[in-house]
Amino acid sequence: MTRSAGSIWIVEDDAAVAQLIRGALEKYDFRCEHFATGAALLRQLRQGVPALCILDLGLPDMDGLELLRQIRSRHGFGLLVLTGRGDTHDRVTGLELGADDYMVKPFEPRELIARVRSVLRRYQPAAPSAEAPRVAEFAGWRFDTATHELTAPDGRSEGLSLAEASVLRRLLERPNQILSREQLLDGRNLDALDRSIDLRISRLRKRLEENPQHARLIRTVYGAGYLLCAEVAWH
């Protein structure tokens, strides 16, 4: 299956909105394809995948959240929801299903470009380095930053999603330090409804803690951010 580094797929049934999105992206030399239905997108995904997909939730043939779920069950490219559905429940559900970001229409084209670039950065492969440590050991756990494999003290291993791995790595790189939500999410300014970092922390706690409601490894510092309470050894 092929992937084009600069290809962005727009899933939007409103032709005027799709053209507005496309115009903003092409101004910055992104190559775009447009799909008016979820079914058209799913057919094309059998042939290849984009670098990033901008997904409307109000599609004529299927619910956008169901489409998001289907995509994430099979693919790992960037996903940005751009929709008129500004309800907090939809936003939280979209992020829980694996969207990397969530924007509500109407949108400002420059903000869209900034968010597209932010998502794309998360999917860029790290530059190879023979000297860079890639495995972190902490509190009996082992995390491989190259493969995103997390190994428990009893030897059980599981793979983390890209979003979870990104947050865990930032915590591991600065243990016993309070990190703000913005520092944990690419330094991007977050609005009051953007709870994506909190959802990722919650998922990590479920993996790492026997009782996520009384977390000991990843602690909340109210009004400030999160703190990884562990000594970390890199090798």
CB 227 within 8 A of CB 218: yes
pLDDT band at 6 (very low <50, low <70, confident <90, very high): low
pLDDT band at 189 (very low <50, low <70, confident <90, very high): very low
What is the mean pLDDT of the segment spanning 179-196? 62
Angle at 14 between CA 10 and CA 19, to 5 degrees: 55
Structural domains in the chain? 2-122 (3.40.50.2300), 135-234 (1.10.10.10)
Q: Among residues of the chain, what percentage have pLDDT more than 70?
A: 89
Per-residue confidence (pLDDT) for residue 200, from 0 to 100: 87
- Beta-bridged to residue 138, according to DSSP, are 141, 232
Which helix (H) or strand (E) segment holds residue 33: the answer is strand 31-35
* Tokens 């909340």 found at: 220
| Alpha helix (H) residue ranges in 52-187 | 64-74, 88-96, 109-122, 162-173, 181-184
Average pLDDT over the chain reads 86
Helix (H, G, I), strand (E, B) or coil at 118: helix
- Which are the contacts of 17, defined by CB distance < 8 A and separation ≥ 6? 56, 105
Q: Among residues of the chain, what percentage have pLDDT more than 90?
A: 52
**55-74 pLDDT per residue, tens:** 999 999 999 999 999 998 88
* Tokens 């751009």 found at: 82
Bond prior to 106 in cis (omega within 30° of 0): yes
- Alpha-carbon span 112 to 128, nearest angstrom: 30
Per-residue confidence (pLDDT) for residue 128, from 0 to 100: 52
Q: Name the maximum alpha-carbon separation found in the chain.
A: 55
Per-residue confidence (pLDDT) for residue 195, from 0 to 100: 64
What is the mean pLDDT of the segment spanning 196-216? 83
**15-71 pLDDT per residue, tens:** 999 999 999 999 999 999 999 999 999 999 999 899 999 999 999 999 999 999 999
| Higher local confidence (pLDDT), 56 or 189 | 56
Side chain identity, residue 1? M
CB 25 within 8 A of CB 9: no
DSSP, residue by residue, 60-88: SSSBHHHHHHHHHHH--SEEEEEES---H
**130-162 pLDDT per residue, tens:** 556 689 999 999 999 988 999 999 999 988 888
* Tokens 């050894």 found at: 233
**Tokens describing residue 178:** 């309070």
Per-residue confidence (pLDDT) for residue 82, from 0 to 100: 96
Per-residue confidence (pLDDT) for residue 192, from 0 to 100: 39
Does position 219 have pLDDT exceeding 50, yes or no?
A: yes
Where residue 90 falls (left for φ over 0; alpha for ψ -120 to 50; beta otherwise) is alpha
